[in-house]
């Protein structure tokens, strides 16, 4: 179970680093330097190698559930790197499935709250609410 949680943590961290850049990794390293759950960020072991590969995979357009399974090299002078065949694990698939469901439920609740709030508004307040809803929607799509 701990290993499955570690894979999920590494994947999520790699996703954020690919999205927000290595400055995010630097901040995380400073904040978590004494946290044993993030030891893989500081060593050169297999977990760190997996993490580096996931960052590159996300940068190359792969996503949480699918990625190119062709062997590749991080650098031209490196050995060929083969993708682990058993990722994502069953636990990871369940986690992402539950996360998607939770996000869908949250979105429905938010839309329901917005529509309920909107039904009591009139005039300028109603227009402000519509504009705010459009901004929230736009921010989600970024």
The count of residues in the chain is 142
The confidence score (pLDDT) of residue 57 equals: 84
The confidence score (pLDDT) of residue 114 equals: 61
Q: d(Cα 17, Cα 25) in Å, to the nearest integer? A: 6
The residue whose two tokens read 């699918």 is 66
The confidence score (pLDDT) of residue 1 equals: 43
Q: d(Cα 79, Cα 76) in Å, to the nearest integer? A: 8
Q: Which residues of the chain have pLDDT under 50?
A: 1
The confidence score (pLDDT) of residue 122 equals: 58
The confidence score (pLDDT) of residue 43 equals: 87
The confidence score (pLDDT) of residue 92 equals: 60
């Amino acid at each position: 179970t701990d290993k499955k949680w570690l894979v999920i943590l590494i994947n999520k961290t790699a996703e954020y680093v690919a999205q927000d850049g290595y400055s995010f990794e630097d901040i995380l390293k400073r904040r978590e330097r004494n946290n044993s759950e993030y030891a893989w960020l500081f060593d050169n072991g297999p977990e760190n190698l997996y993490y580096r590969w996931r960052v590159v995979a996300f940068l190359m357009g792969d996503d949480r559930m699918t990625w190119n399974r062709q062997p590749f090299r991080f650098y031209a002078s490196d050995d060929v790197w083969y993708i682990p065949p058993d990722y994502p694990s069953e636990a990871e698939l369940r986690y992402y499935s539950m996360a998607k469901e939770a996000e869908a439920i949250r979105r429905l609740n938010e839309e329901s709250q917005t529509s309920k709030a909107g039904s009591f508004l009139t005039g300028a307040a109603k227009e402000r609410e519509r504009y705010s809803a459009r901004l929230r929607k736009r921010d989600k799509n970024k």
